[in-house]
Amino acid sequence: MTNELVTKQKWFWAWQDEKEEAWLAEMAQQGLHLNDVPFPGSYQFKNGEPADYVYRLDYQSLKTKDKDSYLQLFADSGWEQVGEMGGWVYFRYKIDHGEAPEIYSDRESKIGKYQRILTFLAILLPLMVVMMPNIGGAEGYGPFFIILEALAFAIMILLSFGIIQLVRRINQLKKTD
């Protein structure tokens, strides 16, 4: 390993976790191994030998007192933690003999993860709705005010889209075994 650090910018929405996992595994096959996620959308890799890794992202709101034992459980099971960002925890597992490791072994707990993400987004939406009329204060309808309103509106559309995607994912999972 050269210990050289490579940074890549890529954006994944909250409902694109499987896409993100696949991309990180692809990077590993090219010799780029995730080292840290310093900012949302920014991935820091260590340059090294191509290797077969499975990456899995968990979503948790961990209390400080629970975090240690949570990470230790994953470590004991062979999952290496390689970063975290706003509730997302990045794990990887080295493949030696054709294993197909997962962090969720049943449908219910996997659905639980997406419900946690959904809850987070669902809380943001009414927050935005409440905030919208207040943006700009008593300034009226100046151009700055209009831009802020448009931005808030765009964020609400995005959140709604995300919520729909997650609900679809959850329903898909409910239908499978």
Partner 1 sequence: MEDKPITKHLPLTEATYYILLALVTPKHGYAVMQDAEEISQGTIRLAPGTLYGAFTTLENNKLISMVGKEGRRKIYQITETGIRVLLGQIQRMEIMLQSAAKNFDLWQERTAEEESHD
State which of residues 70, 124, 125, 152 lies at the interface with partner 1 (CB under 8 A). 70
Which segment (19-27, 40-48, 71-79, 128-136) binds partner 1 by CB under 8 A? 71-79
Q: How many of the chain's residues bind partner 1 (CB under 8 A)?
A: 22
Least distance in angstroms from the C-beta of 166 to partner 1: 17
Position 7 contacts partner 1 (CB under 8 A): no
Q: State the Cα–Cα distance between residues 110 and 176, nearest whole angstrom.
A: 12
* Cβ 151 to partner 1 shortest distance, Å: 35
Site string for partner 1, 97-136 (x = CB under 8 A): ----xxxxxx-xxx-xx-----------------------
**Long-range contacts, stretch 124-133, CB < 8 angstroms, 24+ apart:** 124/159, 125/156, 125/159, 125/160, 125/163, 128/152, 128/155, 128/156, 128/159, 129/156, 132/156
Task: Please say which residue, 47 or 81, places its beta carbon nearer to partner 1.
Answer: 81
Coil, strand or helix at 85? strand
Token match 């959850």: residue? 170
Question: Would you tell me how many other CB atoms lie within 10 Å of the CB of residue 163?
Answer: 18
User: Phi/psi at 136 (nearest 5 deg)?
Assistant: 90, -10
Q: In angstroms, give the least distance from the CB of 148 to partner 1.
A: 39
Please answer whether residues 120 and 126 qualify as being in contact, where contact means their C-beta atoms are separated by less than 8 angstroms.
Answer: no
Site residues (CB under 8 A) for partner 1? 58, 68-74, 76-77, 79, 101-106, 108-110, 112-113
